[in-house]
Amino acid sequence: MSDLTRRTVLKAAGATLGASAFAAAIAPLTQWKPAESIDEFLSKHYKELSPDELAAMCRRFEDEAKRNQGLDIHVAAAQPLPGVQFGYALNLSICVGCRRCAEACHQENNHDRPSHNSYIRVFELENGSIDLANGDATYDHPVPATGKYYMPVQCHHCDNAPCTKVCPVEATWKEQDGIVVVDYNWCIGCRYCEAACPYHARRFNWKKPEIPPEQVNPDQGLLSNRVRPQGVMEKCTFCLHRTREGRLPACLEACPTGARVFGDLADPDSDIRWVLANKRVFILKEELGTKPRFFYFFDK
Amino acid sequence: MTSRLSVAGVVIVCLAVVVFAAEAAGDPQPAPLPVPLHAVVRHSHPTPRVLTGAVEHAGRPATIACSTCHAVRPPNPANHAAADLDQFHQGLQIAHGTNSCLSCHDPGDYDGLRLADGRKVAFADSINLCSQCHGPQRRDYEHGAHGGMNGYWDLTKGGRYRNTCVDCHDPHVPKYQGAIPMPHAHDRFQSAGAAHE
Amino acid sequence: MTLATLKRPGLLAFARQAFAHATDGGPLFYAWMTLLTCVALVGVNAWANQVVNGMQVTGMGDHVSWGLYISNFTFFVGVAAAAVMMVIPAYLYHDHEMHDAVIVGELLAIAAIVVCLLSVTVDLGRPDRFWHMMPVIGRFNWPISLLTWDVIVLNGYLGLNAWICGYLLWSRWCGRAPSPRLYLPFVFLSIVWAVSIHTVTAFLYCGLGGRPFWNTALLAPRFLASAFVAGPALIIVVLLALQRLGSYPFGDKPIRMLVRVVRVTALINIFLLAVECFTALYTGGSHAASLTYLLFGLHGHHALVPWIWSAITLNIVAAGLFLWPGLLRRSRLLVAACLMTFVGIWIEKGMGLVIPGFIPSTLHEMVEYVPSLTEWKITLGIVAAGALVYTLLLKVALPLISGWTPGLAVGVESMDAQHRRLFEQLNQLIAAVRAGRGAAEVGRTMDFLDSYVREHFADEERLLAEAGYPGLEAHHRMHAGFTAELETVRAGLSADDSDREALAERLHLSMRDWLLRHIRVEDRAYGAFLRAREAD
């Protein structure tokens, strides 16, 4: 055999070996199921869907829940209410740090059970200082503790939202009623928005959320609390599946002290407008110019 | 929604340390309300009755109205604490400013309360009594900024269901009694308690 | 005499030749490629598992949501941008020798961009939705999102360098002088573009008001300064390695030039870091929290402290070494200095810049980050893939730049074979001189070249005389000039105190380039004459 032929044979053998090693290396991908259906894989951006397509998508998620888990869920694509501008205020003077808001969020929004995820983090701060550097969100002792006060932080639904600006694919945007949403079908999972948010409001699905079927909240919104897929961003949506029906958000209902005030900023007679007009209101990190829809206030 | 309302209700009732032996009170259901709608305040506190320790033939604890005893006992405006009393209400904790019993209880009718100006107030309407001193809280309450609520932010779509003062504050020891917090999120790689210092 | 029909060298032949160049090599080459392939495949496998199981296999979390992938991405954008440090002297200052060497930098830019694009891709939670970023079929959030700008500048830079390298190599293959119109505008564009890729990448970070550690206008200048340290340092190491391997067809000038560049940029980089530290630490407050964490630890968390001080030490020591003029004469020490600063900047700019932006978190929580094994596997796999691409590109490009190509064919088979052989001999000699081989070996190579040149010139002139070529007289004079030059070099080589570098440069510049031009112009002219005569 001439040197040239031997070389060719060796090269061919090497190439075959390399190709089969490559095939073996990517073999785990055969178990990958990025989308439930081809429809989901090819689904258009939320804003490009017609009302009929939106309804069809909701039905599809309902059917999938029925087929895969035997669950009867209701998925709706609630649209912004005309003329309504949502706002939220939180009374730091009476919040006791019981985390019932965070727990209600956990249940309402079908969060991953093992991580006990929630869109709300409650910080225990020292009286006399608003420096979060002295805060702690992992306390477990009875509350309120002496010398401490509590500051729940969640998405501020900023009017100048840093998170929506940075998204390379417009998978997150601000709706007409002021709610910042994520299209779970469109997000590519780059987490740039998570880096951009000054309020630690965004959460990433590091894995597929785990919820026992009997614990799933069946009242679901397409842009809010439907069970999220793996690898996408999620965040507080002011419970838009509730609030766009006129109901209060779950965190507010869970608050035992009434520290939370939610309502329509466009309605001069709303509770939230009364708070903004009559209380000592402040905005977290106001200097960043994010123009939040979430306000903190003190009684005294 | 009903079940969640009840859950919230139970939580609130647990928080409120009510020393009165009251008739078991179910949560009233928010009825469909006509427009314009108003908040439905929980009236789960009817006129209190006192446990006798005896048991009725049906197995329920026997209770008697306050007025049963107080009708024959002269009121003593000097009483401020359980220690001042010699028969009933032993061990009753009182920590509510400088109030005496008769600051709120009506000496003319122990089954009711009275305002400072002498007007009678039913137990169910005790919020009006509290508001005499706690005006700012009453004001905040009326603007949805105190006491919490369930239901609708949009009152054209549905009503609200609200607590009253004594759901959370024991009238004798009104300071908020505290709670055990719910579990926090177990964030990846964050060790609890090691956050700072 | 056998006359071949001169075919225009086609793209297919070019591809076939490139493939042959890319896949042929010695045992060292095959070992190197096998190693890189294995590491890359380990990375591919780890990534496949990450895609299936989700990003939970990484060390990232909602507090530190970017890690090793994005750190590595940021660093390699700098490496890619550094090619400009060779382009500027080559094209702006018309440095002839840099002109050839610049391709080593431009090919590195291509490989580095491949590393960048892969690093970003593996960081995606949903790689299946990659197409959402494509204009038209997806929704490209341009110009609002800086990430879309980064996509544009990185791919643009990849395209620019691919075009420049591809066009120059193609021209060389065709034996044509490249048309300046077709590549010079792109070269100058690539200079601006190189600055833009790193500026835009800095803007990804410094545009975020919620992260004070990144929210500084100094970030882009710092990125560029560090890029112009790490990139040239890597190119120096590559050039030295090629020299050692005998496949280095350029003079030492590029290395000297790059050392001069690093001498300055290393100091600027340290200076900018010091400026940043002063501003944050002297002011204090929460804006200094991340930097305090990085340098000294904060609230009992110190994970990055040993790393950053290693980086600072490496950078300062390397900067000192680069200031020492003797460094150029000690190639081992030069390699060490380059590797030190390369690693130093990899730490400082990757982990040292991306990670502290998240610690403490925006709500001042302290959660530390340690890359998982999966992340290391994937990252090393990507770097190996980049090295693989770079090796293949160099394997294709270097022989084309320095050797005989079918484009240089004159159409006389015997002469073309001799020309090919001449280039091989000359390159062997250059390599032997450069690699500092012993006088005996260099002498042997020289002797062989010398006799071969004379033989070839005699053959060629005999052929032309037989054919009655009118330009024979002039042609002979040119040959004589070359032989005289060869004699001078030979004399220089046999002298004990010869400046080998200068000789190698002379061999390269005045002899190989002469040969190239001579064949391209004069020899092809007689080829045309012979073919025309044949046709009559």
pLDDT digits (tens, 9 = 90+) for A264-280: 999 999 999 999 999 99
In the predicted structure, residue B32 carries a pLDDT above the cut 70: no
- Burial (CB < 10 A; 0-12, 13-18, 19+), residue B156, is exposed
- C-alpha closest to that of C83 among C257, C227, C264, C269: C227
Tokens representing C383? 């770097």
Specify the DSSP class assigned to residue C217. T
Residue type, C367: V
- Band the pLDDT of B72: cuts 50, 70, 90: confident
d(CA A103, CA A106): 5
Find how far residue B127's CA is from the centre of its chain: 9
Residue in B188, B194, B197 closest to C61 by CB: B188
Nearest to C388 by CA among C18, C12, C36, C17: C36
Distance, CA of B24 to CA of B32 (rounded, Å) = 24
Range among C246-250, C356-360, C462-466 rated most confident? C356-360
Q: Which residues of B touch C (CB under 8 A)?
A: 187-190, 194-197
Which residue is closest to B185 within chain C, CA to CA? C62
Is the confidence at residue C71, as pLDDT, over 70?
Answer: yes
Residues of chain A with pLDDT under 70: 1-3, 300
Structure-block tokens of residue C487: 């004699």
The A residues from 197 to 236 touching B (CB cutoff 8 Å) are: 206
Residue B182's alpha-carbon distances to A11, A143, C445, in angstroms, are 64, 10, 83
pLDDT at site A244? 98
pLDDT tier at C37 (50, 70, 90 boundaries)?
A: very high
Q: Kindly provide the ipTM of the predicted complex, given to two decimals.
A: 0.95
The answer to whether A135 contacts C364, with C-beta atoms less than 8 Å apart, is: yes
Assess contact for C308 and C290: CB atoms under 8 A. no
Query: Cα separations (Å) of B110 from A97, B25, B102?
Result: 38, 21, 10
Q: What is the CA radius of gyration of chain B?
A: 20
Backbone angles phi and psi of A151, in degrees to 5? -135, 100
CA–CA distance, A296 with C376 (Å, rounded to integer): 43
How far apart CA A90 and CA B20 sit, in angstroms, is 33
Which residue of chain B is at minimal alpha-carbon distance from A142? B180
Cα Rg of chain A, angstroms: 24
What is the mean predicted confidence (pLDDT) over C343-366?
A: 95
Tell me which residue in B152, B168, B181 faces A248 most closely, judged by beta carbons.
Answer: B152
Mutant choice from A170, A208, A290, A296 vs C, greatest count of C C-beta within 10 A: A170
User: Residue C228 has what pLDDT?
Assistant: 95
C518 within 8 A of C478, measured Cβ to Cβ:
yes
**Chain B neighbors (3+ CB pairs < 8 Å):** A, C
Mean pLDDT in residue range C508-530? 85
Question: Looking at residue B40, what is its pLDDT?
Answer: 63
The per-residue pLDDT for C486 is: 86
Interface contact flag, C145 A205, Cβ < 8 Å: no
Mean pLDDT of chain C: 91
Q: Residue C82 has which token pair? A: 């550094």
Q: How many CA atoms lie within 13 A of C415 on its CB side?
A: 24
Instruction: Indicate if the pLDDT at residue B3 is higher than 60.
Output: no
Contact A204, A233 (CB under 8 A): yes
Ordered alpha helix ranges (H), chain A = 3-25, 38-41, 51-69, 100-108, 162-166, 192-196, 240-243, 250-254, 271-278
Contact B188 C365 (CB under 8 A): no
Q: Does B14 touch chain A (CB under 8 A)?
A: no
Paired tokens of A213: 């079927």
Residues C125, A207: C-beta atoms closer than 8 Å: no
Return the number of CB contacts < 8 Å for B and C.
Answer: 29
Per-residue pLDDT band for C496 (boundaries 50, 70, 90) equals: low
Q: Does residue B8 register a pLDDT over 60?
A: no
**pTM, 2 dp:** 0.91
Decide if A137 touches B, using CB distance below 8 A. Answer: yes
C170/chain A closest Cα distance in angstroms? 26
Residue indicated by tokens 């009165």: B20
Q: What is the pLDDT of residue B37?
A: 39
Residue partners of C458: CB distance under 8 A and separation at least 6: none
For chain C, percent of residues with pLDDT exceeding 70? 96
Contacts with B186 from chain C: Cβ below 8 Å: none
- Alpha-carbon distances of C500 from C252, C425, C439, C445, rounded to whole Å: 11, 18, 11, 15
Greatest mean pLDDT among B187-191, C339-343, C455-459, C468-472: C339-343
Distance from CA of A24 to the nearest CA of B (A): 31
Chain C positions in Cβ-Cβ contact with residue A41 (cut-off 8 Å): 128
Q: How confident is the model at residue C249 (pLDDT cuts 50, 70, 90)?
A: low
Is C85's pLDDT higher than 50? yes
Residues in chain C, overall count: 536
**∠ CA(B24), CA(A257), CA(A119), 5° rounding?**
115
Of B144-153, C174-183, C443-452, give the range with the top mean pLDDT: B144-153
pLDDT above 60 for C244: yes
Tell me whether A143 touches chain B (CB under 8 Å).
Answer: yes
Taking the C-alpha atoms of residue A260 and residue A272, their distance in angstroms, rounded to an integer, is 10
| Mean pLDDT, residues C365-384 taken together | 97
Asked if A6 and A34 touch (Cβ cutoff 8 Å), the reply is no
The residue among C433, C125, C422 whose CA lies nearest residue C250 is C433
Q: Using N-to-C axis directions, what is the helix angle for C253-283 and C331-345, rounded to 10°? A: 30
Q: Which residue of C has its CA nearest to B189?
A: C367
CA distance A164 to chain B (A): 24
Tokens of C212: 């004070």
Bridge partners for A153 per DSSP: A121
Closest chain B residue to A93, measured at CA: B146
C316-325 pLDDT, tens digit per residue, is 999 999 999 9
